[in-house]
């Protein structure tokens, strides 16, 4: 059954984002923003390896019940992720060095990490984008990851949706992230993150 379109991020932007498109994941259907077109669906497994700096344009990457959508340039534009803690994040990261193609010495912008959306939270290790070193290691995003990990470990459900404001044409950098967390299907919070060191 098709879900009705709904608006999200109304607390942090006007008029918000309309979720209208739908796609089937492993055990659920998810909606995605009406301004994104999906021309291709790619199902990922743990052993799948992608170059995150060269993703397919207008593509839905599906990993378990996590959804990653690219824009028409092949940059991550939207995610809808179920944050579920995993205990083997270090081994997974070590086995998937391909994520480094968007950060560190290879980054298109200075001071960037190759930032995941949470390997320790069940996200795919090939999916990464340029994240400010401070934000990723010590700042706002890192604090969110730690909070979500503790909540998941304690048995809570954590869903995270994020919209990434389009950056320049070079690299996987997005200057502003709008993040929406839903805890236990009831508590909803929305935030705007700047991809720099100002929210440390």
* pLDDT at res. 15: 87
Confidence band, pLDDT 50/70/90 cuts, at residue 3: confident
**C-beta separation of 191 from 182 below 8 A:** no
Pairing of strands 40-43, 59-63: parallel
Q: For residue 53, report the phi and psi dihedrals to the nearest 5 degrees.
A: -90, 0
Q: What pLDDT, in 10s, does the model give residues 92-119?
A: 988 998 888 888 777 778 889 988 899 9
Q: What pLDDT, in 10s, does the model give residues 20-46?
A: 999 999 999 999 999 999 999 999 999
Per CATH, domain 6-194 is 1.10.3470:
no
Confidence band, pLDDT 50/70/90 cuts, at residue 1: low
Range of weakest confidence among 43-57, 136-150, 160-174: 160-174
Q: What pLDDT, in 10s, does the model give residues 131-145?
A: 999 999 999 999 999
* pLDDT at res. 39: 97
Measured distance CA(199)–CA(159) in Å, rounded = 22
């Amino acid at each position: 059954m098709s879900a009705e379109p709904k608006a999200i991020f109304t607390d942090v932007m006007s008029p918000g984002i309309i979720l209208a498109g739908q796609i089937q994941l492993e055990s659920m259907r998810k909606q995605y923003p009406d301004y994104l077109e999906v021309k291709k669906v790619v199902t990922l497994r743990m052993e799948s390896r992608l170059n995150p700096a060269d993703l397919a344009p207008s593509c839905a990457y599906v990993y378990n019940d996590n959804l990653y959508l690219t824009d028409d340039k092949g940059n991550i534009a939207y995610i809808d992720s179920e944050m579920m803690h995993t205990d083997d994040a270090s081994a997974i990261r070590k086995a998937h060095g391909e994520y480094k193609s968007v950060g560190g010495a290879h980054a298109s912008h200075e001071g960037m990490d190759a930032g995941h959306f949470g390997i320790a939270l069940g996200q795919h290790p090939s999916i990464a984008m340029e994240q400010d070193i401070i934000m990723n290691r010590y700042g706002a995003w890192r604090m969110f990851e730690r909070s979500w990990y503790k909540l998941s470990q304690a048995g809570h459900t954590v869903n995270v949706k994020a919209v990434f404001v389009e950056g320049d044409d070079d690299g996987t950098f997005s200057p502003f992230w709008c993040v929406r967390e839903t805890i236990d299907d009831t508590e909803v919070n929305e935030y705007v993150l700047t991809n720099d060191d100002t929210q440390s």
